[in-house]
Amino acid sequence: MLRIKNFLRRYWEILFLVLFTAGGIVLRCTLYPHPSYSVAMNDTDGYIAAAQYPSFSWQSLTAERPPTVPLLYRVFMPQSGYKLTNVSQASLGGETKQLAPQPGFEGIVIFQMVFSILTWCVLAWVVFFKLKTPGIRLTAVALILIFAFSPQVADWDSILSSESLTFSLLALVLAFTILLVHRMANKIFTGSFSSGILLAAWLASITLWIFARDSNVYLIPVTVVFLILAGFLALKKKGALIMLGVAALYLLGLFTLQQKTMNLSMRWEKPFIADLIGNVLSYPSRVDFFIQKGMPFSPKLKDAIKAGVRHDDYAKFPDFMQWMKNGGYSTYTQFLISNPFWASLQVYNDLDGLFGSNLQPYFPTGTTSRPGWLVNIGNLVHPLSTTVIPEIFLLSAIIFAAALMYREPGQMAWAAFFIWLLLVAFLLLFVGYHGDFYSKDRHVLVPVLQMRLSFWMTILIAAEFIFSTKEKQRNYR
């Protein structure tokens, strides 16, 4: 009996960690509809088409959709191929569809659910072991699991699109990043085998995440800057510097590859036309900017573009198509860079709308899908108000100030992590917002999710800093 008491006294946190995780997984698997039920959307055909090519071959890199999601479709492809029977038209303003069995797609949606559970549990466990205060550690696990297993994230596992894998891979990237920055801050990131394995896993997760959605590639510029700073400021060992240098070069090469293949794929064509319609054609000075950059423009072409991306009437103008393929994408990027105040103000003015929804629109969320009270709980951890943004900045500033004041490795690691996370989130928010005039809400889901998660994590880390500081003062006295 005494041994049991000693064991529980010593390992009670681990016991609760296991119980929290097991309980969360059970609820995630039992409160939602049958895991093989699914609904498709207007992009699903593109993933099926891209799955015909060998995974991460040149054909797949330049296909209609980037290769990570088609890789999943290729793995689970039945011999008879895919046949969609339950397609929601919500993104086109049409009707939604109930979740239903779709023969051939069961493996995809089951994998999406299992992978989501696994990656978010990994993130929860990593945060647990990198915190020190018992109550805060367990609170962090509970919050992350509620965040991940609420309908605001879990519903996407039943949809045949890119969101489920994108969210899951984001959790994995965050988990590996936390491990990496803590290892660097504690000066134990060396040229060792374990450091190399961690770095390789981090780069692999980033690669898959970037090729899940094209806009994710803008994580790379921020990350490369942080790798360079880490090499100069935190690390002295030659092996570690070589590893970081190789990682930075790999990421720069990955950025170049993604940009080149995306440009060749013309995945950006319809979003570009949508941006011309929404942000350029109604403003003569903006039209002049594009004309000066070589864009052919006539009254007939203007009418063809205005007909919309679904009609493709602009494709009847070969000179415009040639210009668009050679310089359209880069010209729109130059337009945004030339008008930074307008571009940033547009995002700022629409923030309330971008945060104003946190549920998927593709299938009805009534009693046939899962209990309504799950949505209410999810709304607590997926706030709809932009007031979380200044709070994140304030808490991040507190964490950064505490890290500079006490120079404790763990605090320095968390400060670096949050600076990196917020810079990535705001850059992805800007790029996602301006990526497609007609699909802003969906294209900013990832950075909005990052900000909502950052809100809770900054609260927890700030509380951890306060408790650890009080403990140090108590010990000093």
Average pLDDT, the chain: 89
Q: Tell me what pLDDT residue 476 has.
A: 42
For the cut 80, the answer to whether the pLDDT of residue 128 exceeds it is yes
∠ Cα 417 349 383 (to 5°): 50
Weakest mean pLDDT among 106-110, 152-156, 254-258, 411-415:
411-415
Q: Tell me what pLDDT residue 3 has.
A: 59
Instruction: Please say whether the beta carbons of 206 and 251 come within 8 A.
Output: yes
Cα–Cα dist 132/266, whole Å: 49
**Per-residue pLDDT tens for 351-380?**
998 998 888 999 987 656 688 889 999 999
If you average pLDDT over residues 294-314, what whole number do you get? 85
Q: DSSP class of residue 299?
A: H
For the cut 70, the answer to whether the pLDDT of residue 9 exceeds it is no
For the cut 70, the answer to whether the pLDDT of residue 10 exceeds it is no
> 73: which residues sit within 8 A by CB, 6+ positions away?
47, 48, 50, 51, 82, 108
For the cut 60, the answer to whether the pLDDT of residue 475 exceeds it is no
Q: Tell me what pLDDT residue 65 has.
A: 94
For the cut 70, the answer to whether the pLDDT of residue 471 exceeds it is no
For the cut 70, the answer to whether the pLDDT of residue 104 exceeds it is yes
Q: How many CA atoms lie within 13 A of 254 on its CB side?
A: 25
For the cut 80, the answer to whether the pLDDT of residue 222 exceeds it is yes
If you average pLDDT over residues 197-215, what whole number do you get? 96
> 199: which residues sit within 8 A by CB, 6+ positions away?
180, 243, 247
Query: 407 by DSSP, 3-state: which?
Result: coil
For the cut 60, the answer to whether the pLDDT of residue 333 exceeds it is yes
Closest by alpha carbon to 195, among 233, 246, 232?
246
First to last CA, the chain: 37
pLDDT > 90: what percent of the chain? 61
Q: Tell me what pLDDT residue 240 has.
A: 84
Cα–Cα dist 460/186, whole Å: 21
Instruction: Please say whether the beta carbons of 441 and 357 come within 8 A.
Output: yes
Q: Tell me what pLDDT residue 308 has.
A: 77
| pLDDT level of residue 477 (50, 70, 90 thresholds) | very low
**Per-residue pLDDT tens for 14-66?**
889 999 999 999 999 999 988 999 999 989 999 999 999 998 899 999 999 99
Q: Tell me what pLDDT residue 235 has.
A: 64
Beta strand residue intervals within 148-211, DSSP E: 159-160
Q: Tell me what pLDDT residue 144 has.
A: 97
More confident residue, 110 or 474: 110
Which backbone phi and psi does 20 adopt, to 5 degrees?
Answer: -60, -45
> 138: which residues sit within 8 A by CB, 6+ positions away?
13, 16, 17, 20, 128
